[in-house]
């Protein structure tokens, strides 16, 4: 992507690009898809969208208002999970290590977004 001069970022298998216009963003997305296909990887067409307000990793990126905010539905679901895990711990049950790692990773991601927002 760097050699093709495509502005992008990724996290695991989620990719994000940006363009000055709808046409440019669509072109970048197409180029990214072709590059990944050349090395045997595919972009999921169901996750390929272009717009000015998009959710990326539970964060709503809004280029109209130039704001970031957490998407309410996944955040509400994550809160329910956290309350459930807290109750389990309080009642003496063991939470699986893989679950702990998942929760820690998600909390770390949310804190990174908050800190980046403060900086910018």
What is the model's pLDDT at position 80?
Answer: 96
String of DSSP letters for 94-120: PPPHHHHHHHHHHHHHHHHHHHHHHH-
| Percent above pLDDT 90 for the chain | 52
User: What are the pLDDT digits (tens) for 35-59?
Assistant: 999 999 988 888 788 899 988 878 8
DSSP reduced 3-state for 55 = strand
pLDDT at residue 120 is higher than 70: no
């Amino acid at each position: 992507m760097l050699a093709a001069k495509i502005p992008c970022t990724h996290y695991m298998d989620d990719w994000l690009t940006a363009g000055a216009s709808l046409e440019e963003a669509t072109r970048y997305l197409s180029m990214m898809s072709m590059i990944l296909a050349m090395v045997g990887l595919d972009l999921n067409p169901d996750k390929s969208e272009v717009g000015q307000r998009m959710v990326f990793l539970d964060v709503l990126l809004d280029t109209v208002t130039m704001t970031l905010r957490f998407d309410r539905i996944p955040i509400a679901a994550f809160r329910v999970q956290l309350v459930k895990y807290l109750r389990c711990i309080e009642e003496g049950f063991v939470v699986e290590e893989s679950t702990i790692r998942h929760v820690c990773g998600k909390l770390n991601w949310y804190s990174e977004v908050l800190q980046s927002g403060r900086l910018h």
